DNA sequence: AATAATGATCGTAATATTGCGATGTAATTA
DNA sequence: TAATTACATCGCAATATTACGATCATTATT
């Protein structure tokens, strides 16, 4: 017990859940917003701007990266992160589909 | 340590994160999909259809309810759940806004 | 080469999540 | 009223997440 039984769900359900999970933390939302804002990538800035330790930021970045939402390239001494356009589009599509599948027509409960 | 430092983030960031968190599990995605499918509410059916114990389903329903995504009303001996249209719309708007704020214009990393 | 700067990773403590059996509760049926 | 049905809640074990200090690796500067 204690671990998600992914095997009993569909690919789609697991994919959506994992994308949601990657964004299910205010720090990661903040990181994404910050990256989007200054379209051109950043990184060390994040440590200064969010009030979290460097190790913590790095960990959150890793999660976003392993979910595919962002990508990072080494740029001299620092690392430049930016949105992964492909995955972002996929997310937009799947999410739009999922959320849009509910047409609040008939009032029930 | 070990607990999310919500106080250092904005309302918006915390709200988005909590909505994502509510949906960050395949079982809860499955439950939402199932509720959406048969627009009219259900409940005990879920236990039969997803391969999880009744206690587990009940727990997931509670999380979805406390996030405001669904609502339940007692219907005789059983409980009828359905989407909370208001929160769903809010979710659609906020999410659309957030995802849409990225215009994959300039390629960077 | 020595030092500094930038991040990643490790180890650890605190807390949260997931899943389930067992039990409790309220309404329905016999 | 007793039994049944449909859920909720409790309590527990296994695992995951969050945060951070400390340390490691890599590149840049002196």
Q: CATH number for the domain including B83?
A: 1.10.10.10
Name the domain count of chain A.
Answer: 1
Cα–Cα dist A6/A14, whole Å = 7
A/B interface, count of CB pairs below 8 Å: 141
pLDDT tens-place string over residues A34-49: 999 988 778 889 999 9
Task: State the pLDDT at residue A41.
Answer: 76
Cα–Cα dist B101/B99, whole Å = 5
Note whether A45 and A7 are within 8 A (CB): no
Query: Across-strand partners of A80?
Result: A73
Range of the domain at A65: 20-97
Cα–Cα dist A64/B47, whole Å = 33
Kindly state whether residue A74 falls inside one of the protein's structural domains: yes
pLDDT tens-place string over residues A14-73: 999 999 999 999 999 999 999 999 887 788 899 999 999 999 999 999 999 999 999 999
Which of B:48-87 have CB within 8 Å of A? 50-52, 71-73, 80-83, 85
- β pairing state of A70-75 and A78-83: antiparallel
Kindly state whether residue B102 falls inside one of the protein's structural domains: no
Kindly state whether residue A79 falls inside one of the protein's structural domains: yes
Note whether B26 and A17 are within 8 A (CB): yes
Point out the residue among B24, B39, B105 whose CB comes nearest to the CB of A24: B24
Kindly state whether residue A3 falls inside one of the protein's structural domains: no
Kindly state whether residue B6 falls inside one of the protein's structural domains: no
Kindly state whether residue A107 falls inside one of the protein's structural domains: no
Please give the nucleotide, over all strands, whose C1' is closest to the CA of residue A50: D19
Kindly state whether residue B62 falls inside one of the protein's structural domains: yes
């Amino acid at each position: 017990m204690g671990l998600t039984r992914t095997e009993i769900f569909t690919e789609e359900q697991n994919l959506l859940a994992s994308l949601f999970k990657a964004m299910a933390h205010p720090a990661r939302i903040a990181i994404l917003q910050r990256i989007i804002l200054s379209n051109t990538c950043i990184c060390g800035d994040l440590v200064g701007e969010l009030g979290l330790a460097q190790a913590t930021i790095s960990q959150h970045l890793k999660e976003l990266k392993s979910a595919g939402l962002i990508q990072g390239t080494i740029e001299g001494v620092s690392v430049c992160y930016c949105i992964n356009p492909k995955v972002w589009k996929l997310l937009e599509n799947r999410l739009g589909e999922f959320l849009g599948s509910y047409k609040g027509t008939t009032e029930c409960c």
